[in-house]
Every structure is written in C-alpha cells, then in structure tokens.
Structure 1
Amino acid sequence: MTVQTSRLSTIAKQLSQAAIRLDNIESLLIQHYTADWSDEEKATLEDSFVRELCILAFMLQLSSSRFRSTPSDYYSWSLDKRKSYLGRVPNENHLCKSLIVQNTKYDEKFATPFYYEKYYCCIIQYSSKLNSEAVSRLFRKRMSHVPRKYFNFQFAYDCESITGYPFNAVTPLAMKRRIPVVISNAIVDLDPPFIWLGGGREDVKWFVNVAQLVDAFSAIVGAID
C-alpha cells in the first residue's frame, strides 16, 4: 500500500466515524425534543425528509416544534375537523398557511433586505384571506422613498420553483432560497400562542410556538389580511 493510499484510507475511516457521531448526536437531539410527542407525531419522523426538517427546527431554537401527517382527503375537511384531527389547539384560528407573494413591480435599484424584496412568505390564518393591498401598504410605509408604482404584490403561482415546496406544503423551513417571512398580527395575538402550518410535504403539518417562529426568522409582523 502506497503512502497516498494509506492516507486516503485513514481519511475515509475518519469521515465514516464522524458520520456515525453525527448520526448519534441527531438521534440524541430527536430523543430529547420529542419525549412528549404523541405516537402519531413521532411516526411522522420515519420520513427522512421530515426528520431533517425537524432537526433544523431544533437547531433554529424552535423547540416547540412537532410534525403530524394528514390523510389524503385532509383538504376536503372543514377547518373544525382539521383542528380536531391535529389536536393541541383550541380552535381553527390556530390553523395557518404560508403563501408566497411576488412584487410584480419590483425594481432591483431599490433592493433592501427584508423591506424591499421580490418575494415574501406571508403566514396567515386559514380562516382569513391575504390582502395584497395591505401587504403593499406595509412595505410602502417602511420604504416611503420608493414611489408607489413600484409596489404590487400578487400571489406567486410558481411557489414550488421559488421555495422548493408545492402548494399546501410551503414552509419557511429550508426553502431553496432565502425569503423574508411576514406574519399576520392576528396570529401573534393568538392565545395560546401556537399554530399549525405547512410542514414541507402536502400531507405533513408543523406545530410551533408563534414567538419562536418570529424570532427564528426575524419575521415582519403586520396587518396583511
């Protein structure tokens, strides 16, 4: 065996050992944070993709996170039935969705992180409706030097190409590109302060504390519905 081959063999062994250690750390992390999860919630982690999202959530200090799979006919149910199935929340006002909006009049010369960007992830209650004019007002107020004609927010129908997630699966976790998060002030006022929203797959929902969600994504809070 040559010296170079020996070194490569040693490196490969070290990488393998490191991977095992990482797997052990991830397992310990999962065990710690999911100790009080229901059996149904724990079963969701059998999906490796959801497990990765879960670990990311914990790393972002979203310790309140839980994930729950839903039946194929979930979206045909009433909001009350969805709430009853998912559990943990008192009424349908705690069921939320993430919508991607695009400023169709965006001009790069005014680009400003968070306050003037082309895309935003807006989180609202299922029981309400996104108000695109309210979204425009929210950002016009913060960017008063930008002419009104450069604001026009519309629903982005190609959300999968933007976020990596199809409609009904969009989540601010691990989107394919960084997109600022905007949360309805009605959500921030919820009591108890917990919501269910998209969990990265169309049949997975994510439960999280609202304050943790705001902090983790430095979310903008405003009247957008």
Structure 2
Amino acid sequence: MREVAKPEAESAPAPPPPAEKPKKSKRVSIETARVPAPAPKADPPAPKRAPEAPAAQRALADHSNLMPPRCTCGLCPPGSSSAAAASAKSEKQLASRQEAILARIAAAEARLGMAPMEAVPRAPTPKLPAVMPPAASAEAQAAAAAAAADMAVEIPACNVTVDMPPDGAGVYERIAADLKRRGVTSFATNWVPSYYYEKDLAWRQHCLGAHTLGHLCKSIVIENTKAHQSVDGIKDPLASKYYVVIVQYAARMNADKLRNFVYAELGQRKVGKKNFNMRLAPEEVSAELTGYVKNGVVPVAMRQPVPVILSHRILDLSPRYFWMGGGHVDFKLAVDTQQFVDAYKPFVTDCTYDDLAAGEDLD
C-alpha cells in the first residue's frame, strides 16, 4: 500500500518575487507625451510695509515740498532740492494764471471802452461804461413831448361861447401858463354865459359840447374839521387839513369814503379815526387857499399847494377828458385826464356814492 505523504507543517508565506523592472522602450506612450497643464500662479507675496514714519517726519516731508529753498520756518532743511523744484513750479503756475487773468481783464476793458486798469485801485467812482445810453438830448425830449401831444385826446368845440367879461382879464393867461409849465398840452377853455349855473346839467353839457354828463366835474375844498393837533395845515399831503376834491356833477361825494381814505390810506392810521371829519370848507377859506371863488375853483395855479383828490370815476370816462371850473365863475377848463394826472399827481380814490341819487349835494 502506498503511503500518503503527510503535508508539511504550515510555514510563513514566501515573499513575492521581486517585480521585474520595466524594460526601457524607445516608444513613448501618448499619455506620457501629453504636457501637463501649468499650475496656477500663486499671488506674489505682499511686499513688506516699511514702518510708518513718525508724524513729525511726515509733516516735514509734506512741508518741504511746498516751501521755497530758503524757508525759515525751522522745519525744512535749507537748500532742499525737492522744495526748490516744487516752489519754482508753483511760482511758474501762479505767474501763468496771473497773466491769463490780466489778459481777460484787458479784453473786457477793451470791449467796454474803459481805460486799462492801473496797478493801484482808483479812489474816485469809476467811469460809466461806454455802453450805457447817453442822456436824452433837448431835441429828443422835444420829440417825446411832441409824440405825447399827438396821442392826446381831442376835446370837442363848445356850442355856446361868449366874450370875456370885464373882470376876466388875465384868467386865461394864468391858467394856460401853469398847464404848459407842467407839460399839459391838450386842454380847452371857454367863456360861458353868466346864467350858466341857472341851467340844468343837460344844457351845460350842450353848452360845452361834452360827450356825456359825466364829463362835467367840479372842484371843491374839503376840510377835516377834527384834524389832530399834530396836523399843520397843508404842509403834509398825507396828513393835510384841507384837500381839493374833484368829483362829477352827476355823482355825489361820500364823506365816509373820503374820511376812510384819508384816515387809512393816506394817514396810515397813525391817529385815531375820531380825528377825521370831512366837510365842505367855508367859502372864504376856500378862496384864501386856492385864490378862486365858488364855481371857479380849479387845482391849477392855486395860491397855495393844496393836495388834490380825484374821483376814480373820472378816469373811466371816454373820451379821456373832463370839464371843470377855470379860475372864474364864467370860465371853464377842459383837460386831458391822463396829462392832468401826470402833471398834478392827484390822489385817486373812490369818494362818491355808488347810487347817484344818494348823499348830499355839497355844491
């Protein structure tokens, strides 16, 4: 019988045979031929910050760039080249700017016709530029006056006229001279019959050739009978004791409206309202102030410069003129409304009743 060989006792595994070294091949594989992708570049290392200079050194560096070479401030080193270069550059820029500014000033002076500016400012008031318009000559003023005269309203001729009465000498000359002296060129006068005021308004309108009854006006002297003790006659137009008031015959003066106007508008409520009471002045007072008697009062060539108040309704008349007394009972004056306002500067206000039938007739 064959004997079966017993297995040998288990022993440690034998080490693997050493790997064979690859044989060098002249052929290069595709994988090894590929060029590897470049690795991302790393950020360069930050330069090391130099230690910050002390504040005194920084101030010295900044100051040195601005100061001239021979700075005596005690901070700049004498003869610093950087300071000298900066100073020279700054001076050159400043000189260039000054030259440019002076050139622009000279050009502006040339355009305005002015003399070149001196180095030292002049003490007197500078001359006006040549571009200012010169003052109007006498010929230009005369032309302007003629143009205004051409625009003046034409006052119609009267239908009834009479010869001058014996006591009428010099009346026209006095009135006309004052009107012309003040620049009023559009006016008309007329002597009326002595019975003029015995006729009604319709007849008077026909006599003077007026367009409407509203063109017939009257001048009356009004007195503030309760004027404050500070009021000195007619010296102050805004606080006068007397006023010449021009209203239409077809309207009636409203004393309350007139009082409110003088109190609030002219007087600016400086004194109490109890110090205003507007009433028709006595005839002798009116004659003393104006130089004219009743029915002849006119705010032209008056004896004293009494302030004038004009009813606003007269400005609304068309055509633009109105009739009033002319310095004599039988002498009447018509004047261009706008020229009268420009020449005599009356205060214009609402001083009549809205209802023509209301109020009292002060004439």
- TM-score normalized with structure 1 length: 0.77
Shift of 1:43: 6.6
Bigger Cα displacement from structure 2, 128-137 vs 198-207: 128-137
The higher-RCO structure (CA 8 Å, 6+ apart) is 1
CA contact (8 A) 1:41 1:67 kept: no
- Give the residue type in structure 1 aligned to 2:223: Q
Percent sequence identity over matched residues? 30
Q: Secondary structure at the match of 2:239?
A: coil
Q: What is aligned with 2:227?
A: 106
Distance 1:128 1:84 in 2: 19
Structure 2 residues without counterparts, runs of 5 or longer: 1-154, 353-363
Q: Secondary structure at the match of 2:305?
A: coil
**Higher share of residues assigned strand:** 1
Bigger Cα displacement from structure 2, 200-209 vs 108-117: 108-117
1:92 corresponds to 2:219: no
- Give the residue type in structure 1 aligned to 2:251: S
Once the two structures are superposed, the pairs formed by residues 1-225 of structure 1 within 5 Å of their partners are 47-87=169-209, 89-109=210-230, 113-142=236-265, 143-158=268-283, 159-225=286-352
Shift of 1:180: 0.6
Runs of 4+ with >4 A deviation: 36-44
Q: Secondary structure at the match of 1:196?
A: strand
Distance 1:42 1:211 in 2: 29
Structure 1 residues 91, 104: CA separation in 2 closer, same or farther (over 3 Å shift)?
Answer: same
Shift of 1:49: 2.3
Distance 1:100 1:53 in 2: 18
Q: Secondary structure at the match of 2:219?
A: strand
CA contact (8 A) 2:217 2:249 kept: yes
Shift of 1:145: 2.2
Distance 2:178 2:301 in 1: 8
**Higher share of residues assigned helix:** 1
CA contact (8 A) 2:231 2:241 kept: no
Structure 1 residues without counterparts, runs of 5 or longer: 1-35
Distance 1:203 1:42 in 2: 9
Structure 1 residues 43, 54: CA separation in 2 closer, same or farther (over 3 Å shift)?
Answer: farther
Structure 1 residues 170, 38: CA separation in 2 closer, same or farther (over 3 Å shift)?
Answer: same
Bigger Cα displacement from structure 2, 210-219 vs 167-176: 210-219
CA contact (8 A) 1:196 1:207 kept: yes
Bigger Cα displacement from structure 2, 111-120 vs 145-154: 111-120
Distance 2:247 2:301 in 1: 19
Structure 1 residues 50, 41: CA separation in 2 closer, same or farther (over 3 Å shift)?
Answer: farther
CA contact (8 A) 1:65 1:207 kept: yes
RMSD between superposed Cα atoms in Å: 2.4
Shift of 1:76: 1.1
- Give the residue type in structure 1 aligned to 2:300: L
CA contact (8 A) 2:190 2:332 kept: yes
